[in-house]
């Protein structure tokens, strides 16, 4: 007797507030009397479109969708930019307050945890944990005065930090929720701790000093397991997808050395052609931006197909093809940066790269597509940048490492694609 669906048709319609509507619902779920929706020459009517970004996602209506934000740490504060709105300024989170005559502590590094929803800023003086939802300092520890803190890494579960001491010969293993020290990793052969990396599985620590010898340590036992000695002072370094190789840039080298972690030996030295830099670097009357080296920074694309280095001699980023036996410089892909550059961070999914110069580069085209600026229009000039993704409730769901290391999934996807191409070409 009743048509199919009649029961559903008799069910009360609910408006945006969950109240019954005995009239007509428009596109925004507002309730109108039927006569109010009639279109006449004197009162033309068109059904309203959806205006609530919470229902249509980011980029629509009031844009109440999920956020992708850039966090750049500078002395005393963290600047937040909107990655989906051409890196427009969002806000500045101040975490250190000092009288004007006193200097702010310099920034050594920054990391993030999806488990705790915090970022961790290492300064030369403190390790500061900031809640990303409240933007309040949860804890700030100096530990033993004069020994805190260098760059840190977060374990895959987000619950443990490994943080280098401030130019001392040990690392701290720290509870990411409370800041309590779980233990100490001694690095007696790597004095003056500086940069640190962690294997993708979170088991192995690589501790580089302001010196030649890097210490490898086991996080579970908190004990050193070996060392790698490079030919000069180690600067920035990255590891590949399984942490079987270390790629390090050094003092007095425009290029990098590659070390085998299993043998703990340097297996290859990659140099940029000498005519591009050696005469300039040897001239004491010439001065270059950076950290007293021809370059400061090295980055892998997540799939490890390319290796990028900032060239301080020629104010550019050099790109190496890394799909062959050894990396090979491709000068056709060089990127001229707007300002001097001392760091490269790869963004989420490896589609964009963020330079300390403030330039944002499309990884595929090697073209500058944006700029990181603070609220005064100044270059961010920060070597501590994180690309972070949040859900609708402000929960951190994805993050990057400030070191552009190889990613296991991206690497495996590239290798699988190469195999498919070979199979189809047979």
- CATH code at position 220: 2.130.10.10
Same domain membership, residue 360 and residue 258: yes
The answer to the question of residue 368 being in a domain is: yes
How many folded domains does the chain comprise? Answer: 2
* Residue 422 is assigned to a structural domain of this protein: no
48 burial level (CB within 10 Å; 0-12, 13-18, 19+)? middle
User: With a threshold of 0.75, does the pTM exceed it?
Assistant: yes
Structural domain of 40: 12-49
pLDDT per position as a tens digit, 328-368 = 999 999 999 988 899 999 999 999 999 999 999 999 999 99
pLDDT in single tens digits along all 426 residues of the chain? 334 444 444 567 887 777 888 888 876 778 888 877 788 887 787 766 555 544 444 444 445 578 999 999 999 999 999 999 999 999 999 999 999 999 999 999 999 999 999 999 999 999 999 999 999 999 999 999 899 999 999 999 999 999 999 989 999 999 999 999 999 999 999 988 889 999 999 999 999 988 999 999 999 999 999 999 999 999 999 999 999 999 999 999 999 999 999 999 999 999 999 999 999 999 999 988 878 899 999 999 999 999 999 999 999 999 999 999 999 999 999 999 988 899 999 999 999 999 999 999 999 999 999 999 999 999 988 999 999 999 999 999 999 999 999 999 999 999 999 989 888 877
Q: Is there a single domain that holds both residue 26 and residue 84? A: no
Task: Please check whether residue 385 is in contact with residue 71, taking contact to mean a CB–CB distance below 8 angstroms.
Answer: yes
- Position 60 in a domain: no
What local confidence, expressed as pLDDT, does residue 64 receive? Answer: 57
Examine the domain organization and report whether 185 and 37 are in the same domain: no
Query: Quick check: is 119 in a domain?
Result: yes
Q: Is position 373 within any domain?
A: yes
Based on the fold, state whether residues 92 and 187 are members of the same structural domain: yes
User: Which among 85, 149, 99 has a CA at the least distance from the CA of 121?
Assistant: 149
Q: Are residues 140 and 38 in the same domain?
A: no
pLDDT at 243: 97
Clarify whether residues 38 and 72 are in a common domain: no
Q: In the chain, how long is the greatest CA-to-CA distance? A: 98
Per-residue burial over 51-88, b = 16 or more CB atoms within 10 Å of its CB, e = otherwise: eebeebeeebbeeebebbbbbbbbebbbbbbebeeebe
pLDDT of 3: 44
User: What φ, ψ does residue 3 adopt, rounded to 5°?
Assistant: -70, 155
296 and 339 in a common domain = yes
Alpha carbons 70 and 232: distance in angstroms, whole number = 34
Pair (32, 130) in one structural domain: no
> Would you say residue 4 lies in a domain?
no
Judgement on whether residues 40 and 165 belong to the same structural domain of the protein: no
Of 213, 215, 149, 212, nearest to 187 by C-alpha is 215
Residue 61 lies in a domain: no
Structure tokens at 367: 């073209």
187 shares its domain with 40: no
The answer to whether residues 45 and 175 belong to one domain is no
| The pLDDT of residue 6 | 44
Does residue 425 lie in a domain region?
Answer: no
Same-domain check for residues 158 and 29: no
């Amino acid at each position: 007797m009743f048509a199919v669906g009649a029961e559903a048709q008799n069910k009360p319609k609910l408006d945006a507030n969950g109240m019954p509507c005995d009239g007509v619902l428009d596109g925004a779920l507002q309730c109108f009397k039927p006569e109010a929706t009639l279109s006449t020459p004197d009162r033309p009517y068109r059904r309203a479109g959806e205006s609530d970004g919470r229902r249509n996602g980011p980029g629509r209506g009031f844009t109440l969708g999920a956020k992708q934000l850039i966090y750049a740490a500078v002395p005393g504060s963290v600047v937040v930019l909107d990655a989906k709105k051409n890196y427009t300024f969002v806000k500045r989170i101040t975490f250190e307050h000092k009288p004007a005559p006193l200097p702010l502590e310099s920034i050594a590094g920054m990391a993030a945890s999806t488990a705790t929803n915090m970022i961790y800023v290492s300064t030369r003086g403190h390790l500061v944990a900031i809640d990303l939802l409240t933007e309040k300092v949860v804890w700030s520890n100096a530990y033993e005065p004069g020994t805190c803190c260098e760059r840190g890494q977060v374990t895959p579960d987000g619950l443990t930090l490994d943080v280098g001491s401030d130019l001392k010969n040990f690392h701290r293993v720290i509870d990411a929720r409370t800041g309590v020290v779980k233990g100490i990793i001694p690095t007696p052969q790597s004095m003056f701790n500086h940069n640190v990396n962690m294997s993708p599985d979170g088991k192995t620590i690589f501790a580089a000093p302001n010196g030649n010898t890097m210490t490898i340590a086991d996080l579970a036992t908190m004990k050193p397991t070996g060392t790698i000695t490079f030919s000069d002072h180690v600067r920035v370094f990255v590891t590949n997808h399984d942490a079987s190789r270390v790629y390090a840039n050094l003092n007095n080298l425009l290029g990098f050395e590659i070390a085998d972690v299993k043998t703990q030996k340097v297996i290859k030295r990659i140099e940029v052609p000498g005519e591009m830099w050696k005469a300039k670097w040897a001239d004491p009357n010439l001065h270059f931006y950076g950290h007293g080296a021809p370059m400061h920074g090295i980055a892998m694309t997540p799939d490890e197909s390319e290796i990028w280095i900032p060239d301080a001699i020629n104010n550019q980023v050099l790109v190496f093809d890394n799909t062959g036996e050894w990396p090979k410089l491709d000068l056709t892909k060089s990127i001229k940066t707007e300002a001097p550059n001392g760091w490269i961070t790869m963004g989420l999914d490896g589609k964009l790269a963020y330079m300390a110069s403030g330039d944002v580069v499309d990884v595929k085209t090697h073209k500058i597509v944006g700029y990181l600026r603070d609220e005064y229009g100044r270059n961010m000039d920060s070597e501590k940048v994180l690309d972070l993704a949040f859900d609708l409730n402000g929960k951190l769901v994805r993050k990057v490492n400030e070191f552009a290391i190889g990613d296991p999934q991206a690497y495996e996807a590239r290798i699988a694609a190469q195999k498919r191409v070979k199979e189809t070409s047979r």
